Structure 1
Amino acid sequence: MSEAVLARETNRRQLQQIISGLSDGVMLIETDQTIIWANEAALQMHGVEAIADLGANGDEYRERFALRYRNNHPLEVEQYPIARVAAGDVFSDVIVEVAPADDPEQRSRVHRVRSMVLEDSKGSPESMVLIIADATEWASAEQRFEKTFNANPAPAVICRLSDLRFIKVNQGFLEMTGHSREQVIGRSVYEVDVLENAERKDLAIERLTQGATIPQMQAELKLPGGGTKLVIVAGQPLDMNEEDCMLFSFTDLEPRRKAETALRQSEERFAKAFRLTPVPTLVCSADRQQVVDVNEAFLATLGYTAQELIGRTVAELDFIEGAGMAGTLFDVLEKSGRIDGLDVKLRKKGDETLDCVLAADTVSLQDAACYLLVLMDITERKRSELELVEAIETVMQDASWFSQTLIEKLANAKSVNGRQLPSASFTDLTARERDVLGLICEGLADKEIAARLNLALNTVRNHVATVYSKLDVHSRSEAIVWARERHLFAGQAKAKRKE
């Protein structure tokens, strides 16, 4: 053996001893693609126990192992790392998936491969080296991130900080903006401007340049079809494939903007209707009954100015006649939320009184609960009714021949059918008592109710007695009238008539 060959073999043995214990895999290749040595780490990364299991050369290696790029494209013969390094190609960070050629569906190992060409003292290639790092766990983490990123419904894009171009976009962003993937990938953050009209754009650009976290801020994204979309945008730096990147995530504020616009328009319509309606109307807060607003018709009817009313409570103004009438009215509103019609007397400024019918409901203004009181002046109508009754009574003094039925009708007319505050609310009844009342309104007897609700007859009778007591009625017919006046169980009655 010549001294040169001996020296080379000696150097090679020393090199093998040095690298045999490294965690990275190392393979020594001849220029003819012969595999002359591999350390234990390289064997483990290929899932084999002996160098012979790798194959004697590049051809046998390709017969035993199928290599694919991460995009699932198989490597051509000349692209295999053994072929490249044997041809003198020096490369770094080639990432490939390695699987047995006879079972390519088996779980792949991921290798990160780089090459070295060792030269002798004369500068001629002496040994070709492949250095392999196991990137399986890294690739698995990348794959999990990729799946999570794509499946996440929250809109997001990732840009590379070196050139500020987008390298990833998820479906959420595409659906939110209407962009196609091709319109985003490869474009810069200024072409698809994710910081358009950002409230702190200068800070965002500074943080982007530094690769630092971009705090949440409001911005508007331009849409490919025209128009903009209001969003909250934030940026988080991350590392992808050993490249510094920025993850932009978004919250779509468009539904909130539309809701706020709709609310504003609704309140504007309410305000216009409130001002223009000829019916006297007042709005007060639900908690303190403090006057929030009144319309011109209310001021004209009661003779007050807005300054005399707004900010004061209804109790302080004391324009509703009757001891405790105002308190009772608001108690009913607190329980039932509305009053359909109630005869009240109102005191004008100057102590003149008016007969009115009051209707009230609960409304929300600027997220505050309020009561809307609507009044109808019936003073003239009541005066006419009383005058008519008085005239008939005068005639009746000399008309003993009038029938008793007519006399009763005139007596009823004199009472003027005044509406009264309900003495009880439907909500005062328990769920079971409501069921019993509903079946009473259907015309069922106690036995039938007991059968329908699967209750004992005495239990039903006790429920009926409790309902009478709470509603202050004394018979089935009065209970039915009470319910009908409040439009309760109307759907049940219609369904029963259809049957």
Structure 2
Amino acid sequence: MTAGVDRHELRQIIAGLSEGVILVEPDQTIAYANEAALAMHGAGSLDELGPTVDDYRERFCLRYRNHVTPNQYPIERVVAGEQFHDVVVEVRRADKPEMDFVHSLRSLVATDREGKPSCLALILKDVTDQFEAEDRFEATFNANPAPAVITRLSDLRHVKVNAGFLEMTGFTRDAVIGRSVYEVDVLAEARNRDLAVSRLKEGGTIPQMEACLRLPDGGSRFVIVAGQPIELGEEPCMLFTFADLELRRKAETALRQSEARFAKAFRLTPVPTVLARGKDLHVTGINEAFTRVFGLGEDTVIGRNLDEAGLWVNERQREAVEAALERQGYVLGVEVCLRHESGANLDCLVSAERIEIEDDPFVLLVMQDITDRKHTERELFDAIETVMADTSWFSRGLIEKLANLRRPDVTRSDALALNLTMRERQILNLICSGLDDEAIARKLDLSRNTVRNHGAALYRKLGVHKRSEAVVWGRENGFPLQSGEIK
């Protein structure tokens, strides 16, 4: 069979192949290219591809993607009789820069019986779509802030690492790429390391588990690691992704420390303090001062609200405190009556505020026992009442001091809001000046009974029951007034 006949039959064989085939003569003439090869160059004919290797070089720009940069085009290496495979190049037409392809190439060099090249062929496979997908994956992988490493399963070496992993660990890219999983151990101290290693060798999914990466500076970092099998350029690999636990561990440590400080302050506070759930006010904790003041221990109070524990004496006061707490989230210094375990009533100031502990709503209540102070005040007012039968000898300064002791929380605006009549203001003014009813009657030219009737009406408006209380109230609100102020 002649060489011409052989070459004709060869062209018939390769014409319908899905792979591209370019036949080259030793004199660098391009003898034939099948339809697949022409399509892979965006060419419609052999003349458009190039009659010779030099023409091909002028019409197509090539760039190797295998991290090698030989001076020759692959087609020139075929002419030189070089055997190669899995060479990947980017191909772009010089006259149409927007038209580019990615080819995976191998050479075929057949020799005659004398060992001389008789058939030189460049075999092409269009891998454009594959590499475009890999480029998109590469861009996504590198841009993903979640730390990640890709490990080749055939030799368990890391082939890709993103910036997130490098930033988290402090490794450089060169310190990771090409290293094995035993050198840069991404499963170090994993909670279920044996399962992870077994799945890695099988190429199976590695479930999430905690691990502790060893860092290049000698430190360590707690992470959650998981593995997902993927293919990278038809090479089976494992994609390891990581979640940094360091911030969470620091937050948990800070939370524990904060809770410990709160618990210590709560326990040692000298004022009775209660911690209750926000939704139903069931008590979850009491301090030592609460037990000391009210006699109620944890076995009596924990798990119940304060009303069930029998602490509240006045139901209306409880409802008012809870309503204010619900309305504005806090209560400050409300005077209430609470019950001791023995049944005795205690005067208390209650303050409360809604708080959150581990995202759950709670209420913190502080109860200050003011029973002794109230008792002292009552004794003082009784003594004042006893001696106030004749107030003419009291100095204005002393009356004002007594007023400040008796009603420190009343303001002048309260007095103006009462809308006293002119006669009532006159009588209040004279009472605060130290005059008794008889002297007031003479001063205003009224009968003593009339003065008493006006006085009774005045007491009702002021909300007092005794002359001494009226004097104190008046002193708090600027009485006695100057003559020009009584209107």
Same structural fold, with TM-score higher than 0.5 when normalized by the shorter chain: yes
Which whole-Å CA distance do the structure 1 matches of 2:284 and 2:211 have between them? 36
Offset, 1:366: 4.2
Offset, 1:120: 3.5
Q: 1:410-446: CA deviations, max 9, x gaps?
A: 567545759xxxxxxxxxxxxxxxxxxxxxxxxxxxx
Which whole-Å CA distance do the structure 1 matches of 2:391 and 2:56 have between them? 128
Q: 1:204-262: CA deviations, max 9, x gaps?
A: 11110011111122222222234322222111111112211111111222222222222
Q: Which runs of 5+ in 2 are unaligned?
A: 411-487
Change (3 A) 1:377 1:281: same
Q: Please point out which of 9, 27, 33 is paired with 1:14.
A: 9
Q: Please point out which of 239, 243, 258 is paired with 1:247.
A: 239
Equivalent residue letter for 1:94: V
Bigger shift: 121-130 or 145-154? 121-130
Offset, 1:299: 0.6
Which whole-Å CA distance do the structure 2 matches of 1:190 and 1:339 have between them? 62
2:105 pairs with 1:81:
no
Q: 1:371-407: CA deviations, max 9, x gaps?
A: 1111222222222222222222222213345589976
2:186 pairs with 1:194:
yes
Offset, 1:202: 1.0
In the TM superposition, 1:49-88 aligns within 5 A as 49-70=44-65, 75-77=70-72, 80-88=73-81
Bigger shift: 292-301 or 354-363? 354-363
Change (3 A) 1:366 1:110: closer
In the TM superposition, 1:308-319 aligns within 5 A as 308-319=300-311
Q: Residue 28 of structure 2 aligns with which residue?
A: 33
Q: Please point out which of 270, 277, 294 is paired with 2:269.
A: 277
Offset, 1:316: 1.0
Q: Residue 477 of structure 1 aligns with which residue?
A: none
Q: 1:78-129: CA deviations, max 9, x gaps?
A: xx222222222222111111123466x5442111111112234565431011
Which whole-Å CA distance do the structure 1 matches of 2:230 and 2:246 have between them? 28
Which whole-Å CA distance do the structure 2 matches of 1:226 and 1:409 have between them? 72
Q: Residue 168 of structure 2 aligns with which residue?
A: 176
Equivalent residue letter for 1:52: D
CA contact under 8 A between 1:156 and 1:248: conserved in structure 2? Answer: yes
Give the length in aligned residue pairs.
410
Which whole-Å CA distance do the structure 1 matches of 2:279 and 2:98 have between them? 71
Q: 1:140-169: CA deviations, max 9, x gaps?
A: 111111111111111111111111111111
Equivalent residue letter for 1:100: R
CA contact under 8 A between 1:68 and 1:75: conserved in structure 2? Answer: no
2:300 pairs with 1:305:
no
CA contact under 8 A between 1:207 and 1:214: conserved in structure 2? Answer: yes
Q: Residue 142 of structure 1 aligns with which residue?
A: 134
Change (3 A) 1:404 1:386: same
Q: Please point out which of 89, 98, 101 is paired with 1:96.
A: 89
2:313 pairs with 1:321:
yes
Which whole-Å CA distance do the structure 2 matches of 1:33 and 1:233 have between them? 55
Which whole-Å CA distance do the structure 2 matches of 1:111 and 1:246 have between them? 26
Q: Residue 426 of structure 2 aligns with which residue?
A: none
Q: Secondary structure at the match of 1:232?
A: strand
Equivalent residue letter for 2:326: E
Bigger shift: 252-261 or 354-363? 252-261
Equivalent residue letter for 1:67: L
Q: Secondary structure at the match of 1:191?
A: coil
Q: Residue 219 of structure 2 aligns with which residue?
A: 227
Q: Please point out which of 370, 385, 395 is paired with 1:393.
A: 385
2:228 pairs with 1:236:
yes
Bigger shift: 10-19 or 348-357? 348-357
Q: Residue 161 of structure 1 aligns with which residue?
A: 153
2:370 pairs with 1:382:
no
2:253 pairs with 1:257:
no
Q: Secondary structure at the match of 2:300?
A: helix
Q: Residue 430 of structure 1 aligns with which residue?
A: none
Which whole-Å CA distance do the structure 2 matches of 1:246 and 1:333 have between them? 56
Q: Residue 202 of structure 2 aligns with which residue?
A: 210
2:100 pairs with 1:108:
yes
CA contact under 8 A between 2:66 and 2:88: conserved in structure 1? Answer: no
Which whole-Å CA distance do the structure 2 matches of 1:407 and 1:365 have between them? 50
Q: Residue 289 of structure 1 aligns with which residue?
A: 281
Equivalent residue letter for 1:82: I
Q: Residue 465 of structure 1 aligns with which residue?
A: none
Which structure has the bigger radius of gyration? 2
- The sequence identity of aligned pairs, in percent, is 54
Q: Secondary structure at the match of 1:192?
A: coil
CA contact under 8 A between 2:109 and 2:120: conserved in structure 1? Answer: yes
Offset, 1:170: 0.9
Equivalent residue letter for 2:382: E
Which whole-Å CA distance do the structure 2 matches of 1:179 and 1:121 have between them? 57
Which whole-Å CA distance do the structure 1 matches of 2:407 and 2:59 have between them? 107
Bigger shift: 375-384 or 118-127? 118-127
Equivalent residue letter for 2:387: V
Which whole-Å CA distance do the structure 2 matches of 1:139 and 1:411 have between them? 92
Which whole-Å CA distance do the structure 1 matches of 2:205 and 2:244 have between them? 20
Offset, 1:75: 4.2
CA contact under 8 A between 1:284 and 1:293: conserved in structure 2? Answer: yes
Q: 1:314-367: CA deviations, max 9, x gaps?
A: 121121221232233222212211111111122111112222111111122344
Q: Residue 371 of structure 1 aligns with which residue?
A: 363
Which whole-Å CA distance do the structure 2 matches of 1:110 and 1:169 have between them? 24
Which whole-Å CA distance do the structure 1 matches of 2:369 and 2:352 have between them? 15
Change (3 A) 1:214 1:301: same
Q: Which runs of 5+ in 1 are unaligned?
A: 1-5, 419-499
Q: Secondary structure at the match of 1:198?
A: coil
Equivalent residue letter for 1:377: D
Q: TM-score, structure 2 length as denominator?
A: 0.78
Equivalent residue letter for 2:318: A
Change (3 A) 1:22 1:121: same
Q: Please point out which of 346, 354, 358 is paired with 1:362.
A: 354
Q: Please point out which of 18, 22, 36 is paired with 1:23.
A: 18
Equivalent residue letter for 1:90: Q
CA contact under 8 A between 2:66 and 2:87: conserved in structure 1? Answer: no
Q: Secondary structure at the match of 1:257?
A: helix
Equivalent residue letter for 2:85: S
Which whole-Å CA distance do the structure 2 matches of 1:414 and 1:101 have between them? 102
Bigger shift: 296-305 or 220-229? 220-229
Which whole-Å CA distance do the structure 1 matches of 2:233 and 2:403 have between them? 96
